[in-house]
């Protein structure tokens, strides 16, 4: 039997990847609630591409976004398959993308059944920032996320249950949709209390259509200005 953490590291190699394992018991809806653990998968985005965003998403950012989503979908499925092959039932959850064919439930709530950000906070990979981004302790918000739900007997990481943003409001000030009110997240706090996801989505689809010719939930300004994990300090 291979060492399971070594197996994860082989599929999610540093320095561009980070991962952790969270205890999800009692937190997921059916049928996902059968899985006790979640592997949070974080893939770092190119900071130089994000630094080039001044007034909205660029073609380079859009291409990078699509490429990383494809990469994450492939790696998460390969990891889930490797775990299944050694007897541990596992389910890959690819990155959440802005798809016009998403189910009506998503379009009504802008929420998916299993949140990658929930898995990541339970796995100790970061906290939720003031504009509802997962702020990774390693990469800041310059990431895309995927998850693998599993029965594999992996050691779990300590969850992060509170914001570490402090008084920083850089992302709030940078948001052209004015979707954030500056309140700090804590585990269990409804997103609507501190962030208007519909205002964000409406603006993102408008600006991406104008600048890229594609209506997609992509802006990037709050990602660019966050000081956590940035290689481009102000």
Domain locations in the chain as residue ranges = 4-225
Note the pTM of the prediction, 2 decimals.
Answer: 0.94
Per-residue model confidence as pLDDT tens for the chain (234 residues): 469 999 999 999 999 999 999 999 999 999 999 999 999 999 999 999 999 998 789 999 999 999 999 999 999 999 999 999 999 999 999 998 755 555 555 556 777 889 999 999 999 999 999 999 999 999 999 999 999 999 999 999 999 999 999 999 999 999 999 999 999 999 999 999 999 999 999 999 999 999 999 888 899 999 999 999 887 655
pLDDT score, position 103: 55
User: Can you tell me the distance from the alpha carbon of 25 to that of 41, in angstroms, rounded to the nearest whole number?
Assistant: 19
22 in helix, strand or coil?
strand
pLDDT score, position 219: 93
pLDDT score, position 231: 79
């Amino acid at each position: 039997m291979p060492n399971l953490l070594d197996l994860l590291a082989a599929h999610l190699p540093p320095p561009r990847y980070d991962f952790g394992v969270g205890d999800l018991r009692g937190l997921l809806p059916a049928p996902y609630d059968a899985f006790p653990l979640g592997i949070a998968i974080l893939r770092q985005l190119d900071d130089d591409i994000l630094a080039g965003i001044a007034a909205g998403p660029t073609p380079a950012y859009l291409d990078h976004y699509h490429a990383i989503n494809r990469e994450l979908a492939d790696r998460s499925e390969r990891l889930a398959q490797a775990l299944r092959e050694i007897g541990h039932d596992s389910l890959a959850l690819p990155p959440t993308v802005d798809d016009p064919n998403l189910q009506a439930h998503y379009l009504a709530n802008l929420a998916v059944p299993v949140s990658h950000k929930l898995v990541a906070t339970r796995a100790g990979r970061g906290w939720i920032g003031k504009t509802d981004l997962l702020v990774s302790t390693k990469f800041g918000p310059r990431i895309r996320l995927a998850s693998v739900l599993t029965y594999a007997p992996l050691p779990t990481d300590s969850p992060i249950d509170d914001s570490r943003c402090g008084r920083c409001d850089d992302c709030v000030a940078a948001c052209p949709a004015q979707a954030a009110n500056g309140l700090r997240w804590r585990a269990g706090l409804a997103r609507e209390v501190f962030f208007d996801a519909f205002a964000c989505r409406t603006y993102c689809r408008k600006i991406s259509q104008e600048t890229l010719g594609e209506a997609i939930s992509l802006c990037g300004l709050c990602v660019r200005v966050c000081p956590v994990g940035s290689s481009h300090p102000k």
